[in-house]
Amino acid sequence: MDQDCEPTTPGPGGGGAGTKTARGHARSLLSLGYDLRLQLLSAGIYAFIASSKAVTFLPFIRTSIECESDQPAVDRHSSHWSGSTACTDLGLVARDAQYMKGWAEGLDQGFHCVALPLLGHAIDCYGRRWGVLVGMLGVFAQCAFFFVAASFGAGNLADALIIMGSIVQGLTGIYMAAVNASLRDTQLAASKANDEGSEAHAFGALQLTQGSFAALAVAVVTGGVIAQNLESYTSVWFGYAMLAAVSSVALYMGFPETLAERQTWQWHKASPLRLVDLVWVDSSQRWVAVMMFFLVFSLSSHATLQAFTIATYHWSQTKSTVALMPLAPIVLLSMGAALFIVPRFSPQNVLMGTFVFLDVASVLFCFAGVGPIFVFVGAGFLLATAGAIPTIMQIIASLAGPDEVGQFLANMGAISLAAVALGNVFFGFVFRTFPKVPELSFLLAAPFMFIATYCALKAKRVFDDLDERRRDQVPLGNGEGVSP
């Protein structure tokens, strides 16, 4: 019997029975982290660059907005600065920038949705390292396009380059699917794929690493870039491009190739029509896929949050970026707690508890127009669910067959990307079109969260039925099973 699982007795020092088990648990976590160190580092680097881009994107787009306005120009260090030297109307710049951001991100995710089934099949055929390289090169290309756009300043040409950069990013976005598939490969190789505790810890460690690197990126970029209220982001995008270029080379050389058996290329598997299989073939996959669509569609309304605080509360772009940072410890606490909660209460039960928090957050954001307090409290409930992201990834990964992990994760990711693409465009349009009801995006998003909750409940019932059927099978010596 494994030593960490043996019962313990109090020693002369009065140690309780749980001491040895707790130490063994800690050792297993450290061992898991060491085994996955390259995947965790790769995910952290990508999270740092992606979060840096995300924080910079809206302020950058604001500099590209031009208009005719009779409002007097103010100093760029003033909280009333519009964010653009070509337009002095703060509210108009915020709404137009959010609209442009919605289209850019919508096209990014839309092309990502179409390309991801093909890319997912590719990493099952050509390896995980190939996916990591393609994904990071796509980040480099996007930053290069944005660098050229920033050089042109405001105008239609800058807008076109922003759109082109977003499309290129969408067509090459396979990075995290490759990392997740590599993690799943490692678990399968270690015969831990059916160990809920081990797998929860693996995905939890991945999410904790991403969250830590993302928090570092937000702190660095906010203080070093956003707080400067730059009129041009040329040097910023050049720096991001160089970081991505160096990372692509380093990661390709150091990322472990974990794919044990490569598949042969089959065009029918690379088709976006394979997404239909997720919805119709298997009931558990169907409810999880529909749940993910409505969940992500509803959450995409929060893409308007920064522009909302600028236009409604007249916050500066620095304040709108850092206002929620005091809530960051909630994310880290949630991720840390998930390492112990998920194995104890099962992923399905944790998922349902998560939706309670998400529903409360959705309702609170509906009152964002009343005052910032509803934004802060709602964001607190929303951030408290960060620890459930590994749970969702664990549930999705458990549905994949061992020979099509990359394909399945990519297909499921494409479902979410379709929701993001539609949500970004839709909620950006709503925010720009109805300036007198700025919280309308949140009001429209709430019902979709309730639909996602219903789908999660249906998925849980399917999983519970499957678990009950497995328990009803009594293993015999020859590996067969009979009903008791």
Total-model pTM:
0.70
CA-CA distance, 163 to 107, in Å (whole number)? 8
pLDDT tens, residue by residue, 40-91 = 888 899 999 999 998 899 889 988 888 777 666 666 666 677 777 778 777 7
- Cβ 298 vs Cβ 361: under 8 Å: no
CA-CA distance, 287 to 56, in Å (whole number)? 35
Tokens 């260090």, residue located: 77
pLDDT at residue 196, as a whole number: 52
Quick one: tokens of 238? 């050049």
Considering only CA atoms, which of 116, 480, 453 is closest in space to residue 290?
453
CA-CA distance, 118 to 252, in Å (whole number)? 20
pLDDT at residue 208, as a whole number: 78
Considering only CA atoms, which of 325, 311, 293 is closest in space to residue 440?
311
What residues in the chain have per-residue pLDDT under 70?
A: 1-33, 70-79, 187-200, 268-270, 272-284, 317, 397, 400-407, 409-410, 466-484
CA-CA distance, 418 to 193, in Å (whole number)? 29
CA-CA distance, 425 to 105, in Å (whole number)? 8
Considering only CA atoms, which of 222, 209, 228, 205 is closest in space to residue 326?
222
CA-CA distance, 288 to 459, in Å (whole number)? 6
Considering only CA atoms, which of 397, 399, 404, 400 is closest in space to residue 124?
404
Q: Containing H/E element for 383?
A: helix 372-383
Domains by residue range for the chain, with CATH? 35-259+267-463 (1.20.1250.20)
Considering only CA atoms, which of 339, 381, 117, 109 is closest in space to residue 206?
339
Q: Containing H/E element for 482?
A: strand 481-482
Q: What are phi and psi of 475, to 5 degrees?
A: -70, 140
CA 470 to chain centre: 32
- Work out the angle at residue 201's Cα, subtended by the Cα atoms of residues 200 and 204, and round it to the nearest 5 degrees: 85
